[in-house]
Amino acid sequence: MEKTDAVTALAALAQDNRLDVFRLLVQAGPDGMAAGAIAEALDLAPNTLTFHFDRLRMAGLATVRREGRSMIYTARFEIMNTLVGFLTENCCGGVSCAPVTPSKPARKRSKVPA
C-alpha cells in the first residue's frame, strides 16, 4: 500500500459521520446495506451521505451495487486490513513491539446469512 493511499483511507475514516457509516457497514458484513437504511440509522441527509460514500469509495473502503431502486454499500475489509498492516509496519524496529490487538470476532448473530 502506498503512503498516499493510506492517507486517503485514514482521512476517509477520520470524520464522525463517515466513521459511523463505515462501522455500520463493517457490522452489516458482506451483504452490505442500502443507502436509505444508513441514512435512517444515522439520521443523515441523503445528499450528505452521498458525499461521504464517495469518500469511502475513493479511499477503497467501500463498494456500491444497485439493487432495484436502492444503492447497496459494502465495506471492503481487505483494504481495511491492508491499512492496519501499513500502520504497524516495521514497528519498533523489532524491539518490544506489542502485537496488534486482534479484532474481536464478535459473537454471532442469530440471523446468519447464507
Q: Which residues bind DNA (CB under 7 A)?
A: 11, 15-18, 34-36, 39, 44-55, 64, 66, 68-71
Tell whether residue 28 is a contact of a second copy (CB under 8 A): yes
Tell whether residue 58 is a contact of a second copy (CB under 8 A): no
From 2, 21, 30, 58, residue interacting with a second copy (rule: CB under 8 A):
30
From 58, 65, 70, 91, residue interacting with a second copy (rule: CB under 8 A):
91
Q: Which residues of 36-59 are buried (b: 16+ CB within 10 A; e: fewer)?
A: eebbeeeebeeeebeebbebbeeb
Which one of DNA, a second copy, none interacts with residue 64, CB within 5 to 8 A by kind?
Answer: DNA
Dig out the grid coordinates for 16 from the structure: 464522525
DSSP letter (8 states) at residue 112? -
Tell whether residue 41 is a contact of a second copy (CB under 8 A): no
Beta strands in 1-114 (DSSP E): 33-34, 62-67, 70-75
**Residue partners of 11: CB distance under 8 A and separation at least 6:** 55, 59
Q: Which residues bind a second copy (CB under 8 A)?
A: 3-4, 6-7, 10-11, 13-16, 19-20, 23, 26-30, 77-78, 80-82, 84-85, 87-109, 112-113
